[in-house]
Amino acid sequence: MAKRERRARIAFIGGGAMGEAMIRGILTKKVAIPQDMVVSDVSPIRRELLNKKYGLSTLADNRKAMENADLIVLAVKPQNLRQVAEEIRAPSPEQLVLSILAGGTLSKLCQDLNHSCVVRAAPNMPAQIGQGITVWTATAETNKKQKELAQAVLSALGKEIYVADEKYLDMVTALGGSGAAYVFLFIEAFIDAGVHIGLPRSIAQEVVLQTMIGSTCAVEKMGKHPAELKNMVTSPGGTTTEALLQLEKGAFRYHLLEAVAAAHAKAQRL
CA distance 254 to 237: 24
User: Per CB under 6 A, does 80 bind ligand NAP?
Assistant: yes
Tell me the one-letter amino acid at 103.
G
Q: Pick the closer one to ligand NAP by CB: 16 or 194.
A: 16
Helical residues (DSSP H) of the chain, grouped into ranges: 17-28, 44-54, 62-66, 81-88, 106-113, 144-154, 167-172, 179-196, 201-222, 226-233, 239-249, 252-269
Judged by CB under 6 A, which of 8, 23, 75, 263 binds ligand NAP?
Answer: 75
User: Per CB under 6 A, does 91 bind ligand NAP?
Assistant: no
CA distance 120 to 97: 9
Residues 113 to 132: which contact ligand NAP by CB under 6 A?
123-125, 128
What are the angstrom distances between the C-alpha of 163 and each of 45, 167, 168, 218? 36, 9, 7, 27
User: Per CB under 6 A, does 16 bind ligand NAP?
Assistant: yes
User: Per CB under 6 A, does 263 bind ligand NAP?
Assistant: no
Q: Pick the closer one to ligand NAP by CB: 8 or 72.
A: 72
Length of the chain as a residue count: 270
User: Per CB under 6 A, does 178 bind ligand NAP?
Assistant: no
Site string for ligand NAP, 141-170 (x = CB under 6 A): ------------------------------
Residues in the site for ligand NAP, rule: CB under 6 A? 13-19, 40-43, 46, 62, 75-78, 80, 83-84, 100-102, 123-125, 128, 177
